[in-house]
Structure 1
């Protein structure tokens, strides 16, 4: 999923992608000479269906079925580690496979009226990713969870009735419907400027288009069939492995997930391999440096820092308290750095555009040189001209965008304060006045660099609205609500522009793309709250750090809200010094990475600098999932060493199958739990001395 959205958007967009090969190929193709084969000439004999024909019943059916499955996957990941890999490959593949099977069945009975087009494939992929993006961006693993009393009790400060909100399916549905659609209209008027005039690359959207275009050629269809077979093969094995593990988990602390791989002392420091196919699959999709950074963070915190801090317990504070604030400091430092960099990059690029608006320069990824006039003219001779013609054919009227934004904002301004009395209508109004500017900055920057900083803008909203309302007025809840409002608008705007880029390159109608985004958003609003409620009711320990679903970002977002309303005076002794130190470390790591990227072209040492955002997560949660993900990286490395072409083609499908199978086992497992059907066995590991005492007790 290129958009939604998973650990945090700041590094998700930048680091995780199952489409790195396609991205590189697309960027290289954009900068190549006219000798490259034309993409559109391969499809010149195909009739492009109208925008209404692209929005078929079978596309809606496929989107609905896949959206349910993907929402379960994303929700599980959000409630465990918060690390969401790119699922675009799986969405594109499964959409392709679903319609191929559906069309084949209809053709057998002579009922097939319309062939499956790449435009229809684009519509399905867009809707599925939009729906699963709601499962992440709607905050069920972060700001919404941060309001619940269980999370509030862990944070200790701000535990007043006015600063908590008991969860209810009714108000969650009302909130997600009130805020999720506004962002769709905030950036629509700028689609021509972004895509055609500025020619922004939007690497994830471009890579997705590259993937879909390849599916619909004869060679691409054969590869897609192999990828689908691998996906389902590993889906089956992963699902059966999760089913097998279930038999040994009759109570907490039982089963393979509690296997002390490196000994009991390491296990007590949360360093072990927990046999999770999900995290191994995630590790295969995420870049190596992400997984290594997670492991570095786990070692630094649980093997070095926390033992030292534990010695100060009673004098300073416990390690479990320190972890959350150090994580917050690193996240804020990393996010702030990238907001500043993005604003500078955006301003500089806009200045260049203004100066060269009369020339034929092409805006590519920041730092790329524009192509020559002659090359530009040759490129425009067929592909670009055809894409422009189709992109400008089905316009979305300006008045529709304006009326949609104003009317939906008005509904949200009225509805949200009815759900959360802590926030007032004028707080929401200010957010919606500022949001289009931030949406433009985020969308433009995302087009340049593929980074979305939506959650950072959300954290800024927490500080502004939280401090405005104050602690006694319910500023913690108000700040978290404002975060949701801002994140929804800014994230949706960049997502939509990514989709427009995909549609531009696959000749999908902008009107069809907009409708598919609306359809996917509506599906997400219907499915995501129900899926979360399913997990919430099935697992009473949800939100507890030692439970199956610790949801670490719930406590982190509440901690940020507490800082917003109370300031640093509420923090334990020496917490400010440690937090400021790690805030500076996060910025320093980013500066070092930036300098190495710019000046070290030979050794490319920036690839080995740990990422601050990734290091922050294990400080609170532990390193077990980091070990799983590093094993995923090791598998991918060995596979590429043996057969690079095969690994590049099939690894994303294998990883997606592992994630899907293991995650979807959560559905029958939760149903069995609700039906009071418990696993028959408990596999638990004890020290030899404790085991001897247990044996003596049982024999006595």
Structure 2
């Protein structure tokens, strides 16, 4: 998106790695001399040199650069048109939803049942949100289908079962006595099982990699220093090609001194603010420091999980912190919530920062410049985010119909559970069964060979997505499934050989062919971004109109 908005080449097409071959005269791990790094050109300059070499290659004619530039500008123009069009459509829908609120809750399932079953009372209605569709496009079909499975099992099967069996006799949408609160425990069990097992797998793999690297270094040291012949198969794994990620020069990296000072300062600030907001009785200083230390270790696991799976299990990380805190300070529900919040916030911010730095690396940005940008943005967000929340709270009832905040109930229920509160009737059996089932699913997906992951293993549902589909109402999931189907069929459309599209081009196919041929698979992600941006921007407009009591239907 950044390269599109700034009319730059796609950074993902540039190779950011260097391949080296380790031999008897090299060290086991290729590492640069810091003094050499300081003399290296900036990443952006190296990328420009790569492009210049491509343009000046003898195998390419003199007209190639001009033709490639025209092709790039045409591709950029099509993507920008797609972004503007999707932003406009999403904005118009969001604006119309203020004047006609009924479009946010279309009872299509009541229409399908011809009114014989009031499925709307069971939360089954459709919200045609373009932002939801865009998020589904970005998530992809496997994730959205896992959400749909959780939605169907939770809201279509377990919710009616719990209600008619008398396990949840209250109103459907009641968190305490209704089936909405009952199935919430099952989703919580799935989230904890998935997160814990995934984090354990990541931790074990990290330990194994570290031990293996130490063993390789010892083997290589023996092979290099010993005059006795060493069997080739003993050290063949240390003579393979190694792909090294080209890092930024030392002058552009954030120093350890700055990182250490920032860590100490932010820890002190966290302790002071927690004490000022909640008081010394709710959270002692020692428990706050312990919560920060726990958050540091859990954040490392969260970053590793996010980097390897594109999923940051912050919900499970927060629950782990709650469990640890409950053993250290039993009976303190408020302190338990604070500790879990510190751990989840730390893991969330660590994961976001990692993704930002990776994006900057692909774009050739300086990590130090990004660090200062993060500091400026964090300071500004203290006022912007707080002001936005106060504005939302003034206009809307939180929690309320528009913003039920289901995650808050998850946190509260978990805090009550670890501090001795009982579970609802007969839900523990389902929690245990689903937790074990998805723990086994994680182990199967993580431990199976790579060649099987494109086979039957890819049909195993994702636990976190399944749980999200269960504790959110169906309208949260259905539009996202539509987005997942859109990106799936668009990718299949892009994979079809071009010659098949050249036959009988007319109508919709003739109009969409240039976007497929030029924009490719990335074009649909650009459209999805426009959907999300449009609704997010005009949601503020709707909120402002509501604050000024602009009339609507």
**When the two structures are superposed, what TM-score results if normalisation uses the length of structure 2?**
0.73
- In structure 2, C-alpha distance between the alignment counterparts of 1:301 and 1:561, rounded to whole Å: 22
- In structure 2, C-alpha distance between the alignment counterparts of 1:394 and 1:315, rounded to whole Å: 58
On the 8 A contact 2:490/2:521 being kept in 1, the answer is: no
On the 8 A contact 1:339/1:456 being kept in 2, the answer is: no
On the 8 A contact 2:190/2:434 being kept in 1, the answer is: yes
1:631 corresponds in structure 2 to 482
1:110 corresponds in structure 2 to none
Structure 2 residue corresponding to 1:574, chosen from 420, 426, 444: 426
Q: Is the partner of 1:344 in helix, strand or coil?
A: helix
Find out whether 1:354 has 2:206 as its counterpart.
Answer: no
On the 8 A contact 2:167/2:426 being kept in 1, the answer is: no
Q: Is the partner of 1:404 in helix, strand or coil?
A: helix
2:493 corresponds in structure 1 to 642
- In structure 2, C-alpha distance between the alignment counterparts of 1:631 and 1:661, rounded to whole Å: 18
1:105 corresponds in structure 2 to none
Structure 1 residue corresponding to 2:195, chosen from 332, 335, 338: 335
Structure 2 residue corresponding to 1:657, chosen from 505, 530, 537: 530
1:74-101 Cα shifts (integer Å, max 9, x gaps): xxxxxxxxxxxxxxxxxxxxxxxxxxxx
1:229 corresponds in structure 2 to 81
Q: Following TM superposition, by how much is the alpha carbon of 1:268 offset from its aligned partner in structure 2, in angstroms?
A: 3.1
- In structure 1, C-alpha distance between the alignment counterparts of 2:356 and 2:99, rounded to whole Å: 43
| 1:437–1:631 distance in 2 versus 1, CA, 3 Å | closer
- In structure 2, C-alpha distance between the alignment counterparts of 1:445 and 1:278, rounded to whole Å: 26
Q: Following TM superposition, by how much is the alpha carbon of 1:426 offset from its aligned partner in structure 2, in angstroms?
A: 0.5
Q: Following TM superposition, by how much is the alpha carbon of 1:283 offset from its aligned partner in structure 2, in angstroms?
A: 1.3
Structure 1 residue corresponding to 2:154, chosen from 293, 301, 306: 301
Please provide the CA RMSD for this pair: 3.6
Q: Is the partner of 1:356 in helix, strand or coil?
A: helix
Q: Is the partner of 2:251 in helix, strand or coil?
A: coil
- In structure 1, C-alpha distance between the alignment counterparts of 2:260 and 2:97, rounded to whole Å: 53
| 1:465–1:304 distance in 2 versus 1, CA, 3 Å | same
- In structure 2, C-alpha distance between the alignment counterparts of 1:530 and 1:26, rounded to whole Å: 41
Find out whether 1:591 has 2:448 as its counterpart.
Answer: no
- In structure 2, C-alpha distance between the alignment counterparts of 1:418 and 1:39, rounded to whole Å: 45
Q: How does 1:107-126 map to 2 (within 5 A)?
A: none
1:518 corresponds in structure 2 to 375
Q: Is the partner of 1:570 in helix, strand or coil?
A: coil
On the 8 A contact 2:150/2:466 being kept in 1, the answer is: yes
Q: How does 1:176-191 map to 2 (within 5 A)?
A: none
Q: Following TM superposition, by how much is the alpha carbon of 1:506 offset from its aligned partner in structure 2, in angstroms?
A: 3.9
Find out whether 1:241 has 2:93 as its counterpart.
Answer: yes
On the 8 A contact 2:199/2:302 being kept in 1, the answer is: no
- In structure 2, C-alpha distance between the alignment counterparts of 1:410 and 1:315, rounded to whole Å: 45
| 1:371–1:663 distance in 2 versus 1, CA, 3 Å | farther
Q: How many residues align?
A: 459
Q: Is the partner of 1:393 in helix, strand or coil?
A: helix
| 1:223–1:516 distance in 2 versus 1, CA, 3 Å | farther
Q: Following TM superposition, by how much is the alpha carbon of 1:315 offset from its aligned partner in structure 2, in angstroms?
A: 8.3
- In structure 2, C-alpha distance between the alignment counterparts of 1:267 and 1:597, rounded to whole Å: 44
Find out whether 1:606 has 2:457 as its counterpart.
Answer: yes
Q: Following TM superposition, by how much is the alpha carbon of 1:548 offset from its aligned partner in structure 2, in angstroms?
A: 1.8
On the 8 A contact 2:140/2:483 being kept in 1, the answer is: no
2:182 corresponds in structure 1 to 322
On the 8 A contact 1:391/1:510 being kept in 2, the answer is: no
- In structure 1, C-alpha distance between the alignment counterparts of 2:415 and 2:308, rounded to whole Å: 31
- In structure 2, C-alpha distance between the alignment counterparts of 1:374 and 1:580, rounded to whole Å: 46
Find out whether 1:561 has 2:425 as its counterpart.
Answer: no
2:501 corresponds in structure 1 to none
- In structure 1, C-alpha distance between the alignment counterparts of 2:97 and 2:347, rounded to whole Å: 40
2:106 corresponds in structure 1 to 258
Find out whether 1:452 has 2:308 as its counterpart.
Answer: no
On the 8 A contact 1:464/1:564 being kept in 2, the answer is: no
Find out whether 1:43 has 2:48 as its counterpart.
Answer: yes
**Most deviating of 581-590 and 220-229:** 220-229
| 1:245–1:348 distance in 2 versus 1, CA, 3 Å | same
- In structure 1, C-alpha distance between the alignment counterparts of 2:218 and 2:14, rounded to whole Å: 26
On the 8 A contact 2:167/2:424 being kept in 1, the answer is: no
Q: Is the partner of 1:258 in helix, strand or coil?
A: coil
1:34-76 Cα shifts (integer Å, max 9, x gaps): 9xxx9965502999xxxxxxxxxxxxxxxxxxxxxxxxxxxxx
- In structure 1, C-alpha distance between the alignment counterparts of 2:291 and 2:149, rounded to whole Å: 38
- For the pair shown, the structure with the greater C-alpha radius of gyration is 2
2:550 corresponds in structure 1 to 677
Q: Following TM superposition, by how much is the alpha carbon of 1:340 offset from its aligned partner in structure 2, in angstroms?
A: 1.0
- In structure 2, C-alpha distance between the alignment counterparts of 1:26 and 1:487, rounded to whole Å: 34
1:183-241 Cα shifts (integer Å, max 9, x gaps): xxxxxxxxxxxxxxxxxxxxxxxxxxxxxxxxx98765653443232112111111112
- In structure 2, C-alpha distance between the alignment counterparts of 1:604 and 1:560, rounded to whole Å: 36
1:413 corresponds in structure 2 to 271
Structure 1: runs of 5+ lacking an equivalent: 3-21, 48-215, 361-369, 682-700
- In structure 2, C-alpha distance between the alignment counterparts of 1:634 and 1:358, rounded to whole Å: 51
Structure 1 residue corresponding to 2:134, chosen from 266, 278, 281: 281
Q: Following TM superposition, by how much is the alpha carbon of 1:332 offset from its aligned partner in structure 2, in angstroms?
A: 1.0
On the 8 A contact 1:459/1:560 being kept in 2, the answer is: yes
| 1:340–1:220 distance in 2 versus 1, CA, 3 Å | farther
- In structure 2, C-alpha distance between the alignment counterparts of 1:437 and 1:624, rounded to whole Å: 36
Q: Following TM superposition, by how much is the alpha carbon of 1:638 offset from its aligned partner in structure 2, in angstroms?
A: 3.1
On the 8 A contact 1:259/1:274 being kept in 2, the answer is: no
2:59 corresponds in structure 1 to none
| 1:304–1:462 distance in 2 versus 1, CA, 3 Å | same
Find out whether 1:532 has 2:384 as its counterpart.
Answer: no
